[in-house]
Amino acid sequence: MLILKNLGSDIMIDLLHRKLHLNKLASRFLFWTFLLVFFTGVLFITCFITIDRHQLFKDAKEQLDISLQNQQLLIEHWATDRLDEVRLLAHHTTSHTDPTEDIYQRILQDEEFYEQVHSFVFIDKDGYVKVDTAASETVKTLQEINLSDRDYFIDGKQGNEHVFNIVLHNNKTPSIIFSTPVFSKNKEFQGVIFSAVLLSKLNNMLKNSLTGDSNQMKLISKDGLIISDISQSRTEIKEGPTDRYIDKQKLEEMIDTKQGYLQYKNENNKQMISSYTPLFDGNYLLINERSKEEVLQSHYQVVKALLMIMVFIVILVFIIAYLFSRRILQSFSSLVKTINEIEKGNYQTRLQPDLFTKAPNEIREFVEVFNQMTASLESHERALQNASMTDQLTNIANRRAFEFYLGEKWNKAINNNKEISLLFIDVDHFKEHNDSFGHQKGDECLVKITDVISQTIKFDDHLFARYGGEEFVIVLPMVDNDEARLLAKAIRKKVKGLKIKQSIMSDRYISVSIGVGTMKPIVGTGEETLIRLADDALYEAKSKGRDQVVSKNETTKIN
């Protein structure tokens, strides 16, 4: 049977040769070379289309995710700056009864730094507007406008802040509210101060982060109302209350998954891909979109070029074109492999120039530029990682680094059945020092304390971090309570020895209160139990009069 099949194939080939008058060896060679090149080209293009489409969508998704993360960080940092501006005004009041004049004078003094803010408004404890920088009469002498029914005032009376609250008006420009309560030094509620920032300020900033002609960004409320619609290709930005809502099914999917990737048709019936993420406790959703047409634009151009090259190769020289195509494919494979490694986070990966010594000049130039780009990416990635884990003032680890380190060491302590100690350090009377000498001296005080604590710690495996404000933490893996307490006492003594005055009018020196917590973790517990234990010890130290060390040891019991 096999012999008959081979005989049949030979007969078919001979018949084809006779029908096409392929009687010469050269004509037969050219014919079969043509078929080989043609079907090889068709197969190559088919595989390329499949792989390249998949890769392009994968790259587009990653680009959307990266852009979305950057935009989210941009919004959050921007919102934090706006809230800090309001907090600064609230914390600089000196009056025990009516802080209106203090707030107004502070606004006038720092007016040049509030370019993002449209207006500041101060509401007294009864809900009446006392200062409104957007009104013709900035300081209100009469009780004309009462805002005591507003959410930010009600929450302010309870000591809560509004971080990012978009207020939509039917006939006015939408604005973002950042509010914080104002308390006297006696902790008495004096009112609420808020800043109103035009939504257009944020939108204009976000538009600069868009890439690509079809890249769009939408900011929507949790009920699906489209608040902002930003596009790179449009000069105008659609913002404010509209009757446009996002598709209900799509909204429910976004809310359920919280963060992810979707493909759908937009209101213009265009196929879109998008990434999305929640903002500010899920009250808003940020969506980053890009059309499939733009994603595949380079793909179509490459496919068209390949078809033309294939036809050109078939017409001219089959063998040379075939060898040349193999070389191009080899270069392309090296590039794809390198890009895949970079996608996995291996930013040190480079294209090897030795593999492209016989390649055209354009490809060798591309290899050089590509390697420069990956080197820059590696440098920026390393810088971002270091910056995200370091406190800018003291140049030690920050709270994020502390939480990461403690979680890692906690799990290791569970596996090794070892103790772990945590020191909570609080600078006593730091606010008094800050108010008396100013923020610059306050910062210098924290830096000096940081330096002396760093010099006091003698353990190889530890983490010293700024927890926030004037609070510091020290994580000591495999250190028992006695050793941790001795370190705490040494730190308290060294800080006292700095002889930093508490205030201009006081003869007392800056001191620290330290809470020490030690535990031997067990499976099923989290590091927050150790944080709570050390924090309780710190609270007890401060309750007993400050400038002392209190330790708690729970190596056999975990609450």
Banded pLDDT at 333 (limits 50, 70, 90): low
Q: Give the integer Cα–Cα distance in Å for 64 and 363.
A: 28
Banded pLDDT at 235 (limits 50, 70, 90): very low
Q: Give the integer Cα–Cα distance in Å for 307 and 317.
A: 15
- Output DSSP code: residue 505: T
pLDDT value at position 237? 53
67 CB contacts (<8 Å, ≥6 apart)? Answer: 209, 210, 211, 215, 275, 288
> Based on the domain organization, do 424 and 518 belong to the same domain?
yes
Give the mean pLDDT of 57-66: 82
pLDDT value at position 293? 81
pLDDT value at position 556? 47
Q: Which of 164-178, 422-436, 456-470 has the lowest mean pLDDT?
A: 164-178
pLDDT value at position 49? 83
Domain boundary pick from 295, 322, 345 = 295
pLDDT of 239 over the 60 cut:
no
Tell me the whole-structure pTM to 2 decimals: 0.46
Domain boundary pick from 371, 390, 417 = 371
pLDDT of 332 over the 80 cut:
no
Q: What tokens does 193 get?
A: 């101060």
pLDDT value at position 180? 92
pLDDT, tens digit, 9 for 90 and up, residues 472-506: 999 999 999 999 999 999 999 999 999 998 888 88
Q: Which of 343-347, 421-425, 495-499, 528-532 has the lowest mean pLDDT?
A: 343-347
Residue 60 β-bridge partners: none
| 328 in a structural domain | yes
Per DSSP (E only), the strands in 246-367 are: 260-265, 271-279, 284-291
Q: Give the integer Cα–Cα distance in Å for 408 and 365.
A: 44
Q: What tokens does 63 get?
A: 């680009």
Token look-up 């598709």 returns: 247
In angstroms, the first-to-last Cα distance of the chain is 82
Which span out of 58-72, 155-169, 377-391, 529-543 was modeled with the highest average pLDDT? 529-543
406 close to 474: Cβ distance less than 8 angstroms: no
Listing DSSP states for 244-263 in one string gives -B--HHHHHHHHHHSSEEEE
Give the CA-trace dihedral at 413, 417, 418, 421, to 10 degrees.
60
Give the mean pLDDT of 86-96: 76
pLDDT of 5 over the 70 cut:
no
Burial 465-485 (b: 16+ CB within 10 A, else e): bbbeebbbbbbbbebbbebbb
pLDDT of 370 over the 80 cut:
no
Give the CA-trace dihedral at 43, 46, 50, 55, to 10 degrees.
80
| 381 in a structural domain | no
pLDDT value at position 411? 92
pLDDT value at position 263? 80
Q: Give the integer Cα–Cα distance in Å for 185 and 188.
A: 7
pLDDT of 3 over the 80 cut:
no
Nearest to 49 by CA among 299, 231, 321: 299
> Based on the domain organization, do 532 and 446 belong to the same domain?
yes
Give the mean pLDDT of 380-387: 69
> Based on the domain organization, do 225 and 261 belong to the same domain?
yes
Give the mean pLDDT of 243-272: 76
pLDDT value at position 118? 85
| 559 in a structural domain | no
Listing DSSP states for 443-479 in one string gives HHHHHHHHHHHHHH---SS-EEEEEETTEEEEEEET-
CA dihedral for 235, 239, 242, 245, sign (positive or negative): positive
> Based on the domain organization, do 86 and 216 belong to the same domain?
yes
Q: Which residues form the domain of 538?
A: 399-554
> Based on the domain organization, do 34 and 77 belong to the same domain?
no
Give the mean pLDDT of 60-67: 82
Tell me, what CATH number does 274's domain have?
Answer: 3.30.450.20
| 109 in a structural domain | yes
| 7 in a structural domain | no
Where do runs of H (alpha helix) occur along 91-198? 100-109, 151-157
> Based on the domain organization, do 70 and 48 belong to the same domain?
no
Q: What tokens does 211 get?
A: 């890439």
> Based on the domain organization, do 279 and 312 belong to the same domain?
no
> Based on the domain organization, do 452 and 361 belong to the same domain?
no
Q: pLDDT above 90 covers what percent of the chain?
A: 23
Which span out of 133-142, 209-218, 282-291, 412-421 was modeled with the highest average pLDDT? 412-421
Q: What tokens does 31 get?
A: 């014919």
Higher-scoring residue by pLDDT: 76, 136 = 76
pLDDT, tens digit, 9 for 90 and up, residues 23-58: 755 566 566 677 777 778 788 888 888 888 888 878
Token look-up 């040349």 returns: 324
pLDDT value at position 13? 80
Q: What tokens does 325 get?
A: 């195509």
Q: Give the integer Cα–Cα distance in Å for 117 and 178.
A: 10
Residue 287 β-bridge partners: 218, 276
Query: Coil, helix or strand for 143?
Result: coil
Q: Are strands 216-221 and 284-291 parallel, antiparallel or unpaired?
A: antiparallel
pLDDT value at position 487? 95
| 3 in a structural domain | no
> Based on the domain organization, do 267 and 307 belong to the same domain?
no
Q: Give the integer Cα–Cα distance in Å for 522 and 504.
A: 49
pLDDT, tens digit, 9 for 90 and up, residues 309-319: 877 777 765 66
> Based on the domain organization, do 142 and 274 belong to the same domain?
yes
Give the mean pLDDT of 11-32: 70
| 290 in a structural domain | yes
- Output DSSP code: residue 384: H
Q: Name all contacts of 361-365 with Cβ < 8 Å and 24+ positions apart.
A: 363/331
CB neighbourhood size of 263 (10 A): 11
pLDDT value at position 532? 94
Which span out of 61-70, 262-271, 371-380, 390-399 was modeled with the highest average pLDDT? 390-399
| 18 in a structural domain | no
pLDDT value at position 557? 45
Tell me, what CATH number does 493's domain have?
Answer: 3.30.70.270
pLDDT value at position 558? 39
Burial 130-165 (b: 16+ CB within 10 A, else e): bbbbeeeeeebeeeeeeeeebebbebbeeeebbbbb
Number of domains, the chain:
3
CA distances to 22, 104, 225, 231, 471 from 247, rounded to whole Å, are 64, 45, 10, 19, 47
Q: Give the integer Cα–Cα distance in Å for 428 and 513.
A: 7
> Based on the domain organization, do 52 and 99 belong to the same domain?
no
pLDDT, tens digit, 9 for 90 and up, residues 188-201: 888 999 988 888 88
Domain boundary pick from 295, 316, 345 = 295
Give the mean pLDDT of 293-306: 80
Higher-scoring residue by pLDDT: 421, 106 = 421
> Based on the domain organization, do 277 and 314 belong to the same domain?
no
Give the mean pLDDT of 164-186: 78
Give the mean pLDDT of 528-538: 94
Higher-scoring residue by pLDDT: 423, 208 = 423
Burial 347-383 (b: 16+ CB within 10 A, else e): bebbbeeeebeebeeebbebbeebbeebeeebeeeee
CA distances to 202, 413, 488 from 475, rounded to whole Å, are 39, 12, 12
Instruction: Supply the mean pLDDT for the chain.
Output: 81
- Output DSSP code: residue 111: G
367 CB contacts (<8 Å, ≥6 apart)? Answer: 351, 353, 356, 359
